[in-house]
Amino acid sequence: MAQDPQSSRWVTQKTTSLASVTPSDTSSPSTLKEHTSATKIERTPRAGSTRVQGGKGEKDPHQQNSPNQLLQILLEQNRQEPIIDLFSDLHDQGQAASIENRFRHLLPLGKPGEEEQYAFEVNLDVCSGCKACVAGCHNKNGLAENEVWRKVGSLTHAQTGVQQIITTACHHCREPGCLKGCPTGAYTKDASTGIVKHLDDQCIGCTYCTWTCPYEVPTYQPQLGIVRKCDMCLERLEVGEAPACVQSCPNEAIKITRVPKNVPEVSSEWNLPYTPDPHLTQPTTRYISKKEAGPLISAPSLQPQPAKSEGVLTAMLLLTQVSVGLLAVHLFTLVFSAEQLLNLANAGKGVFLYPLIAGVLAALGLALAPLHLGQPLKAWKVIVGLRTSWLSREAVVLGMYMGILSLYCLAELILGFKSIFQFLPPTLYSSLDRFVRAFGWMSLFTGIFGVYTSAMLYKNTAKWVWRKSWVTSRFFLGSLAGGLSVYFMLELILKSPGVPSGFFLSPTAVFQSWGGPVFLMLLLLKGGVEYFGYRQKAWSTHPEFQYCLSLLKGPLQVKYRLRWWVGFGAFFCIGFSAILLFASANYPLIPSFGKLLLGLGIILFWVGEFLERSLFFTSAVLQGMPVYGNKHQS
């Protein structure tokens, strides 16, 4: 055994050449191990190490009497030449090609054609659930501790109780929901391979793709502030090498195949029960089995866990929608209320008050919106996906609403100073006033479209509970009811002896004429939509609706009941205060108890709306794949 004078390392000498390992021998790790153990290897000894000869080490004399023999053995094995060094020697001697070719039969013979793409093929008959594919994917991609791109789960035979193991990753769908929903264009579908790739530098961490993907493939990484997902190890496929999960599977249950890009119907290979509707995104993964599936059910642990509460989004939605509702109430009051109620002679001093408050509410909501992003400073990228993403459309439309509303408030403020326009003829001033009102109606229509985009943002996700018409009705009814509540609350806050008469319009007069009945009717309609929506018999068979009801009867039961008790309290207080207001001819005669009830009812209404919107997020969970680690399975 010689020593290299330059590196002062023991030069490895082998009495049995590794070149004697034949291609058939290297197909098995155990065979490689046998050749390694029969090899005489001498290498740099670490402190306290032994030299290995013929696969047996010369024992340390202190090891015989050591109480930690197992630890000593493990340390000794760690001092021996790693398998990566042995593979490096094989590669230098030209023997590594046989190991590379071992996985060739798990890859297509050639690259996809113009009308084809790559896809996973999983043989359910040989998958044992060992999770070697999970470990291989995790190590190859350097994932975080709690980050998983490939998952393993099971379905259970309803009659025999036998489990069917399932491994799943990104299905690289023909119509990927993540790509359509992303507002920044962080997803691309490779034209030549069909693989759906994620661009980390383009992602802002909005996590909207986690809602639009029915299989819960994208995973949010809080340390990076972005979402990441499987890319089928595209860099390996480009050089004819198998992905990490394919190489890691000891049973060869996973392989790469080619499938058509465009098919009129979903492929018959997707026959897994208890999985999302394949028509949503047309997944390409093929699950094959020679056994009769029989009646399969999901694994027994079905208790779902509440989704993320999304407090920032809850506040943003409520503020922007109440802003639109307040502006609508203000403009319709100017048009349809009696002139004597509005006191137009003095209203010009402060008629801008209500659109100003509406603008403040909208500004607060839009200022909060970027806070739910993983990378708030990149929020400007949200406009990139305007063509396909409802999130981009919501951001753009609400931004336009805020801009037009600001111009309207400024015009109303300037128009209120009549002394500036004394030199104008009355007819020209009246025309200018109508032009300013037109700005108000323009901002209102933009705001209504903004509420619609908010509703469509959630209806176009993969969450079944959100894809129903009751989301739109709840948003619009909440917007109008919230606008009226703010409109009436201003009377209690700002209408005081210190404020000059006629400084702003009188909501109490509106409440006495038509506002009170309309407010109560909106509360009834919104409560009815929520109540009967959760009791739709036609929806009761869908798994996601069952998850939703299970959550409302389980972990979210207290919040759900509190929402209804608060709603009933708000309706009672506002209704009783309306009776008192109708019984009074003038504002000074309204009992103080009536004012107290009105204010209490409005506060209870806001608390109920916040609880309702919080339940809107936490009770909606995706069905996903039947794998361990999903929010509805332990």
Residue bearing the bigger pLDDT, 192 or 290 = 192
Q: Which of 622, 483, 600, 599 is CA-nearest to residue 551?
A: 622
pLDDT in tens, 235-286: 999 988 899 999 999 999 999 999 998 875 555 556 677 788 888 899 999 9
Higher pLDDT, 518 or 389: 389
Predicted pLDDT of residue 243:
93
Phi, psi of 245 (to 5 degrees): -65, -35
Which pLDDT value is given to residue 505? 46
Which of 15-29, 257-271, 377-391 has the highest mean predicted lDDT (pLDDT)? 377-391
CA 342 – CA 351 distance, rounded (Å): 10
- More confident of the two residues 631 and 154: 154
Q: Does 5 have pLDDT greater than 50?
A: no
Is 307 or 14 the better-scoring residue by pLDDT?
A: 307
Q: In this structure, how many other beta carbons lie within 10 angstroms of the beta carbon of residue 92?
A: 10
Q: Which two tokens stand for residue 398?
A: 């609400």
Confidence of residue 99 (pLDDT cuts 50, 70, 90): low
pLDDT value for 534? 83
Q: Tell me the average pLDDT across 86-90.
A: 68
Please give the Cα distance from 505 to 487 (Å, whole number): 10
Has residue 23 got a pLDDT over 70?
A: no
> Distance between alpha carbon 22 and the CA centroid of its chain, in Å?
51
Section 50-74 average pLDDT: 54
Predicted local confidence at residue 344, as pLDDT: 43
Lowest mean per-residue pLDDT among 207-221, 288-302, 530-544:
288-302
Query: Which of 218, 221, 244 lies closest to 232 in space, CA to CA?
Result: 244
Residues 6+ apart with CB under 8 A from 475: 317, 321, 451, 454, 455
Tell me the pLDDT band of 574, cut-offs 50, 70 and 90.
confident
Record the tokens describing residue 404, joined without a space. 């037009």
Burial 405-443 (b: 16+ CB within 10 A, else e): bbebbbbbeebeeeeeeeeeeeeeeeeebeebbebbebb
Instruction: Give the per-residue pLDDT at 584.
Output: 60
The predicted structure's pLDDT at residue 30:
42
Sign for the pseudo-dihedral over CA of 335, 337, 338, 344? negative
- The pLDDT of residue 18 is above 60: no
Q: pLDDT (tens digit, 9 = 90+) per residue, 340-351?
A: 444 443 444 456
497 C-beta neighbours (distance < 10 Å), count: 6
DSSP character at residue 41: B
Starting at the earlier edge strand, list the strands of the sheet with 296-298: 163-168, 151-157, 296-298
| Arithmetic mean of pLDDT over the chain | 78
Q: Taking 60 as the threshold, does the pLDDT of residue 46 lie above it?
A: no
Instruction: Count CB atoms within 10 A of the CB of residue 604.
Output: 20
Strands (E), 213-369: 219-221, 226-228, 254-260, 286-288, 296-298
How sure is the predictor about 513, in pLDDT bands with cuts at 50, 70 and 90? Answer: low
pLDDT tops 50 at residue 605: yes
Q: Give the mean pLDDT of 183-188.
A: 94
Q: What is the mean pLDDT of residues 1-22?
A: 36
Sign of CA dihedral 498, 502, 507, 510: positive
Q: Token pair for residue 57?
A: 């080490």
Q: Identify the CA nearest to 531 among candidates 572, 560, 504, 503.
A: 560
**The predicted structure's pLDDT at residue 237:** 92
Buried b (16+ CB within 10 A) or exposed e, 96-107: eebbeebbeebb
**pLDDT score of 385 more than 80:** yes
Top CATH class of 311-618 equals mainly alpha
Architecture of domain 107-298: 2-Layer Sandwich (3.30)
* Residue ranges per structural domain of the chain: 3-103, 107-298, 311-618
Asked if the domains 107-298 and 311-618 are classified in one and the same CATH topology, the answer is no
The lowest-confidence range among 139-143, 235-239, 506-510 is 506-510
Percent of the chain with pLDDT over 70: 71
Average pLDDT score over residue span 138-154: 90
Q: What's the rounded mean pLDDT across residues 383-411?
A: 93
Q: What is the mean pLDDT of residues 445-472?
A: 91
Q: Identify residue 357 by its one-letter amino acid code.
A: I
pLDDT bin (cut points 50, 70, 90) of residue 57 is: very low
CA–CA distance, 546 with 417 (Å, rounded to integer): 59
- Three-class secondary structure of residue 296 per DSSP: strand
- pLDDT grade for 419, boundaries at 50, 70 and 90: low
pLDDT category, 94, cuts 50, 70, 90?
A: low
Task: DSSP for 404-423, please give it.
Answer: HHHHHHHHHHHHH-GGGGTT
Q: What is the pLDDT of residue 512?
A: 58
User: Over 80: is that where the pLDDT of 325 sits?
Assistant: yes
Q: Kindly report, residue by residue over 198-246, the tens digit of the pLDDT.
A: 999 999 999 999 999 999 899 999 999 999 999 999 999 998 889 999 9
What is the average pLDDT across 505-524?
72
Over range 81-101, report the average pLDDT. 64
Instruction: Tell me the average pLDDT across 396-414.
Output: 90
